Copies of this chain bind each other. A is one copy, B any other.
Amino acid sequence: MNTIPDSKARVLILGAGAIGSFYGSLLDAAGADVSVVCRSEYDIVSNSGFSITSRKLGDRVFHPAQTLRSASDYRGGAPDYLVVSVKVVEGTDRAALIRPALGPDTVIVLIENGVEIEAEIAEAFPGHELISALAFVQVARTAPGKVAHYAYGDLTFGNYPSGVSERARRFAALLEAGGIRCTLTEKVSTARWHKCMWNGVFNPISVLGNALDTGHILGGAEGEALVRSAMQEVAAVAAAAGHPLPEQLAGQLVEGTRKAPPYKTSMALDYENRRPMETEVILGNAVRAGRREGVAIPVLESLYALMKMVERKLESEAGSPGAVSP
């Protein structure tokens, strides 16, 4: 990439969990002025920063320029980039989180899972440039203020609804200076549907079998047939929504998963640890798109209905004595 990194950029990260603090640390390493809003871990992060372990990129401590309890406390002018990496679960009002930190020229960068997640933000802030980014990364918060980076790290992004702006290129160059690879795409919505083919299928199936790994899921003929049926439905919805995917994609994803060592999806891990799951953005949005486009999606509807029941049961357990605390 020949673009000059935006190394004087002011970046504010909303939702400094594992994803936000990991990418924040890379932007920081590249010279940007990186601040974070973090609520529950405010004390430890403002004292000691984030300790990030990474075999690939080296261990580091990331001290944010400003550690804030709220975006409205941000000082020194508005940020150039507002990175939104909050986990989107039911009840998350992203627009309300974004509004106080936004200057007239701030670019909003969504680093989030899921499909069709941008329209709500684009409508709330029509005057702002919007970058939509997909993270391919294995990273986890292991303790307050501590994050482990296990593998990968690349980002795929572009502007919403389409295109790649100069500022998107400069942001990519900054992240690449920090140590990861960025793939810029003119069609980020299509890229999200592409990722949904795997995420929207393996994630709910893994939960419904009570935290199955990919080996269990593909271990029998029925499992593979179910995965392929669900992927076919995702492909049909994506095509109807204007994002046709390659014919051979489902087969490639199944074979790639089969060849990799068995592992648990992020949603299965959330489920096992009784954390809220991103059911709505990962699967619910695909189901709603299918209904909107009039595509028959009996398998996705079944998976979604089962997921909602599981969530309801977890909620009722969390509210009852003796439940696992979140």
Binding site for B on A (CB under 8 A): 205, 208-210, 212, 216-217, 219-220, 222-223, 225-226, 229-230, 298-299, 301-306, 308-310, 312-313, 316
Contacts and interface: CB of A to CB of B under 8 A. Distances in A.
A226 B305 CA distance: 6
Given A208-B208, A208-B209, A220 B298 contact: no
Main SS class of interface, A: helix
Contact of A210 (B210, B223, B302): B210
Given A223-B305, A298-B299, 13 more contacts: A208-B209, A210-B313, A219-B312, A220-B308, A220-B309, A220-B312, A222-B301, A223-B308, A226-B301, A226-B302, A226-B306, A298-B298, A306-B306
Interface-central residue, A229, A230, A302, A313, by most chain B CB under 10 Å: A302
Contacts of A310: 209-210, 212
B205 A301 contact: no
A262 to B, nearest CB: 11
Contacts of A216: 309, 312-313, 316
A113 B151 CA distance: 49
Contacts of A220: 308-309, 312
A303 B208 CA distance: 10
A131 B267 CA distance: 48
5 contacts: A219-B312, A223-B308, A223-B309, A226-B302, A229-B298
A229 B226 CA distance: 17
Given A217-B309, A220-B308, A312-B219, A301 B229 contact: yes
Contacts of A304: 222
Given A216-B312, A216-B313, A312-B220, A208 B306 contact: yes
Nearest to A208: B208
A128 B298 CA distance: 43
